[in-house]
């Protein structure tokens, strides 16, 4: 008759003790990067006066021009500093589902005062899955705040292409705001 011995371990107060009485060194606790406390508040851009319709349309025109140059079909939305829709354009042939997505990207960029790429990177690269529980998050690039004189005046959102295509068009539109 053969016996097989199995060592069982019990974790008590951070130490691992086996039934044979041998003490083992505890594994070091993983460092949670979310526990870091920054000195300054990130993305602390003050809200400014809402973007005008003329300037919103100029930003859209620049984004659409960039998309046309590259043969992309996009939806482009601009919201004001309060995340309210100011202007929108759907290029011929742009997918219908991306109408709401372009608006959502613009609203997220204005509300959270940061590019939506930050959320994409946070989830895909940093595994900050908690961001998925926040209302209004879009974890896809293509939403960019419009900042003038250090103040947020609105945001632009593009959708219909890949995230990187949406981002390129949005950056062209955002460049019209100085």
pLDDT, average across residues 19-47: 73
Q: How far apart are the first and last CA of the chain?
A: 84
pLDDT at 39: 83
In a domain, 61, yes or no: yes
pLDDT, average across residues 140-165: 97
Query: What digits encode the pLDDT tens for the residues 62-117?
Result: 999 999 999 999 999 999 999 999 999 999 999 999 999 999 999 999 999 999 99
Rounded to whole angstroms, the Cα distance separating 96 from 73 reads 11
In a domain, 33, yes or no: no
In a domain, 32, yes or no: no
Q: Which residue has the tokens 């601009």?
A: 78
In a domain, 8, yes or no: no
How many domains does the chain divide into? 1
Q: Which residue has the tokens 């981002």?
A: 167
Phi, psi at residue 16, to the nearest 5°? -105, 120
In a domain, 48, yes or no: no
DSSP symbols for 126-169: T--GGGGGSTT---SS-EEEEEETTEEEEEEEEESS-HHHHHHH
Residues near 59 by beta carbon (within 8 Å), at least 6 away in sequence: 51, 78, 146, 156, 173, 174, 176, 177
pLDDT, average across residues 131-148: 93
- CATH code of the domain containing 79: 3.30.450.150
Residue 62 is part of which domain span?
53-174
pLDDT at 22: 57
DSSP structural state of residue 21: S
Q: Which of 30-44, 61-75, 110-124 tops mean pLDDT? A: 61-75
R_g of the chain computed on alpha carbons: 24
């Amino acid at each position: 008759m053969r016996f097989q011995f199995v060592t069982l371990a019990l974790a008590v107060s951070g130490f691992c003790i086996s039934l044979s009485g041998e003490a083992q060194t505890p594994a070091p606790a993983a460092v949670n990067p979310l526990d870091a406390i920054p000195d300054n508040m990130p993305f602390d851009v003050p809200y400014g006066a809402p973007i005008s319709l003329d300037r919103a349309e100029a930003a859209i025109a620049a984004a659409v021009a960039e998309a046309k140059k590259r043969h992309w079909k996009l939806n482009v939305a601009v919201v004001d500093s309060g995340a309210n829709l100011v202007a929108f354009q759907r290029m011929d042939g742009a997918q219908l589902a991306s109408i709401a997505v372009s608006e959502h990207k613009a609203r997220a960029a204005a509300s959270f005062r940061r590019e939506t790429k930050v959320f994409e990177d946070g989830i895909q690269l940093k595994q900050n899955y908690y961001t998925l529980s926040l209302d209004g998050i879009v974890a896809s690039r293509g939403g960019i705040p419009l900042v003038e004189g250090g103040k947020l005046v609105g945001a632009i959102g593009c959708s219909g292409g890949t995230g990187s295509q949406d981002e390129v068009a949005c950056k062209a539109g955002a460049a019209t705001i100085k």
